[in-house]
Amino acid sequence: MDVMRLTAVELGRKIASGEVSSVEVTQAALDRIEQLEQDYNCFVTVEKEQALAQAEAVQKRIQAGETISPLAGVPVAIKDNMCIRGGLTTCSSKILSNFRPAYTAEAVVQLQKAGAVIIGKTNMDEFAMGSTTETSYYGETKNPWDITRVPGGSSGGSAAAVAAEEVPYALGSDTGGSIRQPAAFCGVTGIKPTYGRVSRYGLIAYGSSLDQIGPLAKDVTDCATILELISTHDKKDSTSVNREDRDFTAALIDDVKGMRIGIPRDYFGEGIEADVKEKVLAAARVLEEKGAVVEEFDLSLVEYAIPAYYIIASAEASSNLERFDGVKYGYRTEEYTDLHNMYKKTRSEGFGPEVKRRIMLGSFVLSSGYYDAYYMKALRTKALIKQAFDKAFEKYDILLGPVAPTTALKLGESLSDPLKMYLGDIYTVSVNLAGLPGISLPCGYDKHGLPIGMQILAKAFDEQTMIRAAYAFEQSGSYKRPTTLTERGL
């Protein structure tokens, strides 16, 4: 039995029943990482000894008859912008290349309580700024489906690690599509929860009003189970919302009869690849055949989402990244003449080009004379986008569309044209601006054999309806998950 072929929930059951031990599964994951990392570069750090020690500890608890969680003993990878006490946490940036935090992110704490075995930290776009995982200080991550292509970003390391079956599941963060887009490019499933559903405590901030932690895994069942474990009210996070409706696995029902599904026409216009459009609309027809009521409508304001998002996100980034100055923690330049020179040289040497670009853009839109013209206008646009979604959800239970206009791009294509990279986020950023939940799941393949992702959105804190629709599509069998490594090209 190749345990790495199993889903996280399947592995959890086998560990609980004694068919396989957590130590054996953890060792299998470590062996696979050692075998594939040279090709894919999914990880920044791999903690072999610590992972095996965690596995031994949780195995003893299971053997003692303790019921911990459905994922007890199952290995997990954590995106490298989530703090783990004493562990290297770099945000894939030179400026944090030696940073070891004194606390652990709340979402990771919840997984530790659930008996998860943390294998290591995954590669990402530097400070989560990018859509390809090419801006990392530690080198680009490659897509397991085709190593000449990007895995998406910024959670590309987490998505690629799951796709390559180095780990059964991983945590990522989503500021403007950074879970959903790499999930689509790598043929896995990812959930961006409602803003406030999962604590941001211990997540190194990019855009504080937009960031949200979520799971990446092989299927909807895994993602619902993981989300159930990490969703909690946290007093340490002022944006954490106290809600009791966290039973997401109860929504794993193959029934969409009468569900009202809206298809935004705006998402299928100019720029979308024919294969992506065809497969996403075919997925909508599958749900229609299962009894859902599907209807096209005009969402409006779609063309304003990209400029509003990048103004707001960059403004927040310029403020959040101000703390990295070489004084308190992280990298400090070796030679400098005075304090101001030390700040300047540390940041010049420590930050990469994309991070510098967004800091400068953010500083510009917040500057005197431009604040009202750009930042305030972007905030008003954000409010209008939220209103447009609210109006849509008065009529529809969920919205369905593509995750990205294309499948995985060739390495280097976006870096040469940052504007092209920004425009690739057109279907994902609105969800973060409106604080809504979204799930990305594979729905077919393009002419190159690359996976295509579709996106299901729901109103705030209605992850259950979103999960039910995604699960119903998955159960239809319309998308065949490859069953052998040869089918995956691995």
Residue-wise burial string across 221-243, b where 16 or more C-beta atoms lie within 10 A, e elsewhere? bbbbbbbbbbbbebeebeebbee
Between strands 169-174 and 212-217, the pairing is: antiparallel
Q: Tell me the CA distances in angstroms from 331 to 138, 147, 343, one per residue in order.
A: 15, 31, 11
Nearest-10 crossing angle of helices 156-163, 22-40: 120
| Residue 235 falls in the annotated catalytic set | no
Residue 416: asked if its preceding bond is cis (omega within 30°), the reply is no
Name the CA dihedral angle for 57, 58, 60, 65, rounded to a multiple of 10 degrees.
160
At 202, list the tokens.
């211990």
**Could you tell me if 184 and 169 are in contact, meaning their C-beta atoms sit under 8 angstroms apart?**
no
The rounded distance, in Å, linking the Cα atoms of 486 and 490 is 6
The rounded distance, in Å, linking the Cα atoms of 85 and 58 is 19
The rounded distance, in Å, linking the Cα atoms of 429 and 423 is 10
DSSP code per residue over 261-307: EEEEGGGGSTT--HHHHHHHHHHHHHHHHTT-EEEEE----HHHHHH
The rounded distance, in Å, linking the Cα atoms of 417 and 281 is 30
At 299, list the tokens.
């969402």
The rounded distance, in Å, linking the Cα atoms of 452 and 402 is 8
The rounded distance, in Å, linking the Cα atoms of 177 and 428 is 5
Residue 416: partners with Cβ closer than 8 Å, 6 or more residues away? none
Using a 10 angstrom Cβ sphere, with 0-12 exposed, 13-18 middle and 19 or more buried, the burial of residue 161 is buried
| Residue 79 falls in the annotated catalytic set | yes
Using a 10 angstrom Cβ sphere, with 0-12 exposed, 13-18 middle and 19 or more buried, the burial of residue 386 is middle
- Selecting among 21, 178, 199, 414, the annotated active-site residue is 178
At 461, list the tokens.
């804190």
- Selecting among 21, 22, 154, 240, the annotated active-site residue is 154
SS3 443: strand
SS3 100: coil
- Selecting among 79, 142, 279, 459, the annotated active-site residue is 79
Residue 235: partners with Cβ closer than 8 Å, 6 or more residues away? none
Cite the active site residues.
79, 154, 178
